[in-house]
Amino acid sequence: MRMGVLDIGSNTGHLLIVDAYRGGPPIPAHTFKESLRLSEHLDEDGAVDAEGISLLVKYVVEARAEAEDNGCATVLAFATSAVRDAVNADDVLTAVREASGVDVEVMPGEEEARLTFLAVRRWFGWSSGRLGVFDIGGGSLEIAVGSDEGPDVAQSMPLGAGRLTREWLATGKPQDDLRRHVRTSIAEDAGAVLRGGAFDHAVATSKTFRSLARICGAAPAEEGQFVRRELARTDLQRLVEQLATMDADEIAELPGVSSDRAHQIRAGAIVAEAAMDLFDLDELEICPWALREGVLLQHLDRL
């Protein structure tokens, strides 16, 4: 069947349309995405502002039309951190539903971690053993670990690259203060992850990690999704030092960095380095599947 996943993230709205069936991988057929930067459209009270709501409504209306034009039988729509944490989330979703007819589900952070883990497990298989999965989004960091198809531990922390850029770097707070905040936050619940022992396979997903890996020399997207890509801790440590001396325009010139995310890369690198240090990971392998694929796979399993 042809179906779509509409992902309303903290940075981007992304409609992924696939040809899907049980027992096989979802095959991408079409994609429609737009930079929304919802995490940057939060007012001082924590509400999505009028401009952010307008951008979101416009995008969902267009995404629904794209899905219909491409013959989707089903569209699974969900929102993550920016909408999840907004004090006016209900008003935002009502505005979207009234304008587009699309019911967007707010996904809890732990569910986001769990479904991302499912996608990574299906991609790499049982040979990965005890699997550790890290995902830096615009609003949150997800960590999930386990030896089965579902994780034993699924965590979500407000350590997204967009959030930290807005709350720390854009306000002029010292980078060292951000570094301490990130490491303290991750370490607070690290024991639950570490109690099960070391990872047999440590994996990272989604745009921030893909960009960091590409800057550090991983193969470009044009070489296809089956090329092994990894992010080494030694390379990342050097990159964090380099990024501290660069502005957003200079960062946007680096390979694999889009102009609309360049200002967030420094915060994302600080989070990635902290995770690799605290869990003593010399390398993270980059997985091409993440949350959207996890949502699809779970839906197919339930049919």
The mean per-residue pLDDT over the stretch 285-302 comes to: 95
Give dist(CA 158, CA 142) in Å, integer.
Answer: 9
Q: What is the pLDDT of residues 147-204, one digit of tens each?
A: 999 999 999 999 999 999 999 999 999 999 999 999 999 999 999 999 999 999 999 9
pTM value is 0.96
Structure tokens at 69: 């034009």
Q: What is the pLDDT of residues 30-58, one digit of tens each?
A: 999 999 999 889 998 999 999 999 999 99
Q: What is the pLDDT of residue 39?
A: 87
> DSSP string spanning 205-241?
EHHHHHHHHHHTTPPPGGG-TTS--EEEHHHHHHHHH
How sure is the predictor about 70, in pLDDT bands with cuts at 50, 70 and 90?
very high
Radius of gyration (C-alpha) of the chain in whole angstroms: 18
Domains along the chain with CATH numbers: 2-107 (3.30.420.40), 109-291 (3.30.420.150)
